[in-house]
Amino acid sequence: MNYRTIDFPKNSLFLVTGGAGFIGSNLCGAILSMGHRVRVLDNLSTGYEKNIAGFRTHPKFELIEGDIRDFAACARVCTGADYVLHQAAAVSVPESIERPLAYTETNVMGTVNMMQAAAEAHVKKFVYASSSAVYGDDLTMPKREDTVGRRLSVYAVTKYVAEEYAVQYTTHYGLDCYGMRYFNVYGRRQDPNGAYAAVVPKFVEALLRDMPPTVNGDGEQSRDFVYVEDVVQANLLACAAPHEAAGEAYNIASGKQSSLNEMYAVLKRLLGKDIAPVYGPERAGDIRHSGADIAKAREKLGYTPAYDFERGVAEAIAWYRENL
């Protein structure tokens, strides 16, 4: 199903937390293009003003600078909202191991603040970002939602705890919650800079600058790379999903996995580069293999990814050529 054909009530108000971030800003653009209103809550700690600069003069766009750790701010922005797309989070696996208190405050208490505020405001649907990190050391492939292992990082724990709260808010507080277990999302506006940046933009930036990227480990670890436009699709489909699908988490992925070495070979070919990578140590807390079974999201949400890796990364490369 094409999310742009979803018949939301005219002029619906979507609250996007973390709307100045990578995924959040893509959600904002899609919603505005559908003719609905967007309110963003962001403290601009990891999001960027430049990501939403093109929306600031739009009559249906509103930015409120605030923090999900502040319940009063959460309550204020939920007032009048029809749908909440909760993307705000601290997202680095290695950093979460270094800063467990900060990650717990943001990802657990921040999410519970948002759920409580949304429930009190009688929001129709609460769609939140979870992560494939919740699968931990489970070796089952592909990953299915009902089988998880022991979490390998504080980040993974915070996302799993958020899923448990979502069950409680759906069951006891009248808030339909839908968890998006993102796999390796990539695409336009994803930041290639910083020690904890995602692998696709880091590799693309290095190749565009004729520099060898660093691969953590031997490069044979596998990932399910999903283009951001398919992630947008999943979030908006969840906003239109029935109550019977609430209180659940869903794999949001392409349904295909590639090793980092295979992914790098595609990037080299598309960019016309022949630069060997540098292999470094593995990162603490990383999962070795990650691939998704997306049957549940397809069945209950109507999710069907439209982008394979080559198509998606070609669009991403075009964006990076213009914006780096």
HSE on the CB side for 272, CA within 13 Å? 0
Structure tokens at 300: 């209950």
Determine the Cα–Cα distance for residues 114 and 126; give it in Å rounded to an integer.
Answer: 9
Determine the Cα–Cα distance for residues 267 and 170; give it in Å rounded to an integer.
Answer: 42
Residue 73's identity, in one-letter code, is A
Adjacent-strand bridge partners of 14: 38, 83
Contacts of 54 (CB under 8 A, 6+ apart): 29
Determine the Cα–Cα distance for residues 87 and 36; give it in Å rounded to an integer.
Answer: 18
Question: Cβ(37)–Cβ(8) under 8 Å?
Answer: no
Instruction: Give the rounded distance of the alpha carbon of 121 from its chain centre.
Output: 24
Question: Cβ(290)–Cβ(224) under 8 Å?
Answer: yes
Adjacent-strand bridge partners of 131: 182
Q: What is the DSSP letter of 143?
A: B
Determine the Cα–Cα distance for residues 114 and 118; give it in Å rounded to an integer.
Answer: 6
Determine the Cα–Cα distance for residues 304 and 294; give it in Å rounded to an integer.
Answer: 9
> Could you give the C-alpha distances from 46 to 51, 98, 122, 201, 316, in angstroms and in order?
11, 17, 29, 16, 20
The catalytic residue among 155, 169, 227, 320 is 155
Residue 234's identity, in one-letter code, is A
Determine the Cα–Cα distance for residues 82 and 118; give it in Å rounded to an integer.
Answer: 9
Contacts of 101 (CB under 8 A, 6+ apart): none
Known catalytic membership, residue 182: no
Interior angle at CA 283, CA 157 and CA 17, nearest 5: 45
Q: Which residues are part of the catalytic machinery?
A: 155
